[in-house]
Amino acid sequence: IHCGHYVTSHGLALNCNTDLSWFGHIVPCGIEGKGVTSLSRELQRDVSVQETIPHLLDAFREQFNCQLTEGETPEPEQNFGSDSMDDTAETGVTGDLNANLRWPSTGDLQLDKAVQQWVDWDRLDSLVEAGRLDDLRSRLCTRMSFGTAGLRAPMGAGFNRINDLTIIQSTQGLYAYLCRCFADLSSRGVVVGYDTRGQEESGCSSQRLAKLTAAVMLSRDVPVHLFSMFVPTPYVVRKLDGISTCTHVCGVSSPYAVKKLGAASGVMITASHNPKEDNGYKVYWCNGAQITSPHDKEVLRCIEEQLEPWNASCWDEKLVDHSLLRTDPLTQINSCYMDDLTSLCFHRDLNSGCTLKFIHSSFHGVGHDFVQQAFRVFGFAPPIPVPEQKDPDPNFSTVRCPNPEEGESVLALSLLLADRENAQIVLATDPDADRLAVAEQSNGCGWKVFSGNELAALLGWWMFFNWKENHPDPVDTESIYMLATTVSSKILQAFARTEGFQFEETLPGFKWIGNRIHELSKTGNRVIFAFEESIGFLCGSMVPEKDGVSAAVVVAEMAVYLQTKKLSLNQQLHNIYRTYGYHVSKTSYITCNDPPTIQRIFSRIRNFDRDASYPKECGGVRIVHVRDVTTGYDSSRPDLRSVLPVSRSSQMITFTLQNGVVATLRTSGTEPKIKYYTEFCAAPGESDVSQLEEELRKVTDALVDEFLEPDKNHLIRRFV
């Protein structure tokens, strides 16, 4: 038996004139400064070419029960099973791929290559042995990309999943890109936080993935501010928001220049409200906002260039325990956050005498301790926690899905507890505490669960009401802004038209809002409220990210103030609509687990009657304008170009109808869903809500049935 070894782009390629599948644990072995594979993982350090030879010979001797000596190393032209070294360099194995596989070939060369790479770097044996080729292709032949909330996918083996390897690869790519942007990266460092997610069977948890993220950075001597326990997502942002030397990448110094450490970037390991199987990797830039283009595209490109783990240190989660470059920012950031929270407290004297009772559910996530502290900061007694959902539980065992946006069906335990305690308000934060759901008792007639758009109307009114109380000069109003994503209610726009402040829309996703806040701050403007309809709210401008903790205590104070006026939250909502016009909206989704079907649906909409022809009506109502952000088309503009940035990585089309209804179809950036949003914006004085709701229902039903064709396309309607 003659073995040869060549250095390739993937490490060490073994050439043997026998089938390596005989030796299950023999795979290409790492060399110094190159890959990390089975031998280096076993020894927990880098290994050289010479070190691999005795291990290989021992394995051959044991297998064949014979004496062996090391043979001559053949020249490249003697490479067995390969016409040239190019094949070896590209695949990391010999040119005859089948001869190097530890399993029968799938018959798909691309898939075989992807499986080989994965098993070299991680473990995927069970799916290979079971012959689950479709599952393998899904996991291995595509990679994750940045959506509205960073990288997000199920936990599990594969390049298209969240796991140790893909987190290491992502962090290596992030490091490479940060090196290009920050000459002082080694002094600024990065922030890393995590939520409570995890899989018991695989050992994959947010905490472990955060430690691996830190290990990659520490292995390159980059300081890491790793939280010692789970935290809300906004805490990671808070560590970033004081960048005094950010001008070379952000344009100007950040408005928080004197406040915080000034890290170059941040990573939050979370999948927010997604199903328990998922996890994610959110990346924040030096301005505290999630990365958008071009940063996201450049980071992905750098990830593709850094796929093979650098060394054994990248896999060492214990590195954070003894590295002098690791610090724990928890105490400092928690103290700063709670201090800054007082800027949103306007009626502490009322809060201390509050007679209202509040229930809080943290949905098995991170929110409990932080919401309790926030209430104390405002002078409240802490809210009553839902005991079954107070503590972290990665299985989210008491809810069918950990998303409080789903409404009354997932708030059942909270509402039951509220009835027992005679509490008037229920507050629910999602697992990473950046979203907030609210329900209010309706005069003994059940519960009113507010939609994201309705809560935004209340919070927007409250923030502007208190702003005016402290800034009576109308000139001050001209420099304040409210922001909303384009699929959210237009109620803030109605406020702005009447009250004289500024309003802007962004693309869906709070990363766009966060970056716009940063841009506006450069010119001395201030954002006092921002929201997205999926129960994401930012009161004030403490952080450029939605924040469920601060929103929860702000809602509580608003409810207490309204109680002194003998008003409930719902009564005040109707007062707002009577003043600014009723905004009746419907938001929901259908599930589609087949990406080609989604492509066909939107292609049909863009060619509804003929090539490049959008629908002319919806439910018998004429469509007067179409905006297609995916292609950059907007029929309402003289140049037919959308003012919103083109977003070709996702689908989004908006229709404006003759009757005033605005309807949008878009794909989710985090889940296999097509979301639909419709809103009827009535003029002030139109008070026949039932008629508005009926007209909206007809348009919404037609939008779904005529444009999406759920039955024909085997789509799964939302379960409520």
Supply φ then ψ for residue 564, to 5 degrees.
Answer: -70, -20
The span from the CA of 194 to the CA of 183, in Å, is 27
> Of 170, 272, 313, 647, which one is the catalytic site residue?
272
Region of residue 379 (phi > 0: left; psi between -120 and 50: alpha; otherwise: beta): left
Q: Are 618 and 707 in contact (CB under 8 A)?
A: yes
Q: Which residues contact 324 (CB under 8 A, 6 or more apart)?
A: none
Q: Are 629 and 613 in contact (CB under 8 A)?
A: no
Here the tokens at position 496 are: 């702005």
The span from the CA of 287 to the CA of 243, in Å, is 7
Helix ranges restricted to H, 330-403: 330-341, 348-352, 367-377
Q: Are 314 and 172 in contact (CB under 8 A)?
A: yes
Q: Detail the DSSP E strand segments found in 302-435.
A: 326-327, 358-361, 384-385, 425-429
The span from the CA of 10 to the CA of 85, in Å, is 13
Residue where the block lists tokens 């990391």: 92
Supply φ then ψ for residue 624, to 5 degrees.
Answer: -95, -25
318: amino acid identity, one letter: K
3-class DSSP assignment, residue 213:
helix
The span from the CA of 374 to the CA of 242, in Å, is 22
Q: What angle do CA 417, 422, 426 make, to 5 degrees?
A: 55
Supply φ then ψ for residue 571, to 5 degrees.
Answer: -65, -40
The span from the CA of 25 to the CA of 59, in Å, is 9
252: amino acid identity, one letter: V
Here the tokens at position 2 are: 């003659």
Q: How is residue 257 annotated by DSSP? A: T
Here the tokens at position 484 are: 């909303």
| DSSP run (H or E) holding 598 | helix 595-606
203: amino acid identity, one letter: G
- Is residue 272 part of the annotated active site? The answer reads yes
The catalytic residue positions are 272
